Amino acid sequence: MIRLLDKAFTTELDNSSLERIGCSVGSDVPFNIFGGTKLAKGRGEILTDIPAIPHCYITICKPPFSCSTPELFSLVKCDKIRARPDTDGIIKSLEKSDLCGVARRMYNVFEDILPRGGQEITEIKSVLLDKGALGAVMTGSGSSVFGLFNDKSEAQTAFGELNKIYPECYLVETINP
């Protein structure tokens, strides 16, 4: 919307101005202004370009509940986190266009502390993995779950099975400019 307003009103703001506006709306808004593949730090507002994900298919499933980001952050006990995503390994895998390497290193610490819906997240991940996903994980603070696939037909099969239960399912294909 920020980019659309900038264009509609021909303000021709530079990227840093758009980024400042975006940060005032929400921490993850600058990413949505610029797009691409980024490493986000801080609250999500410090962005660094990283190599794009290799071509793949992604099945995304949103169960009929949401997760409260503030609630989940309040439940995180940093000294009790048992596993984390391997960010350095993911970046190295992206540099080699190794989708399997990316998928093996994905992890979401919020999955370990979900106050409700954890079993449903686990079941969705199981369907994705059973149907051939190279890896599956909950997005951000949830509740959507995605699986990465090399094979389109496997991604379609996972989509079809999940879509019988969950109306908010999507099958997408990555594009790299």
- Containing domain of residue 149, as a range? 51-173
**Residue pair 132/116 in contact by the 8 Å Cβ criterion:** no
**Is 8 in the same domain as 44?**
yes
**Is 74 in the same domain as 160?**
yes
**Is 100 in the same domain as 35?**
no
What is the reported pLDDT for 142?
A: 85
**Is 36 in the same domain as 100?**
no
What tens-digit pLDDT sequence spans the chain (177 residues)? 888 888 899 998 988 888 888 888 877 787 777 778 889 888 777 889 999 999 999 999 999 988 887 888 788 888 888 888 999 999 999 999 999 999 999 999 988 888 777 899 999 999 999 999 999 999 988 899 999 999 999 999 999 999 999 999 999 999 876
**Is 115 in the same domain as 149?**
yes
What is the reported pLDDT for 53?
A: 94
CA distance 117 to 102: 26
Q: Which residue has the tokens 């309040």?
A: 74
Phi and psi at residue 148, to the nearest 5°: -95, 135
Indicate the pTM of the whole model.
Answer: 0.86
128: Cα separation from own chain's centroid = 15
**Is 33 in the same domain as 95?**
no
What pLDDT digit, counting tens, does each position of 88-135 carry? 999 999 999 999 999 999 999 988 888 777 899 999 999 999 999 999
**Is 68 in the same domain as 44?**
no
**Is 57 in the same domain as 77?**
yes
Number of independent structural domains in the chain: 2
**Is 59 in the same domain as 108?**
yes
CATH number at residue 90: 3.30.70.890
**Is 58 in the same domain as 45?**
no
At 52, the amino acid letter reads A
What is the reported pLDDT for 141?
A: 84
**Is 71 in the same domain as 156?**
yes
Tokens linked to 52: 């794009």
**Is 78 in the same domain as 95?**
yes
**Residue pair 172/60 in contact by the 8 Å Cβ criterion:** yes
What is the reported pLDDT for 128?
A: 98
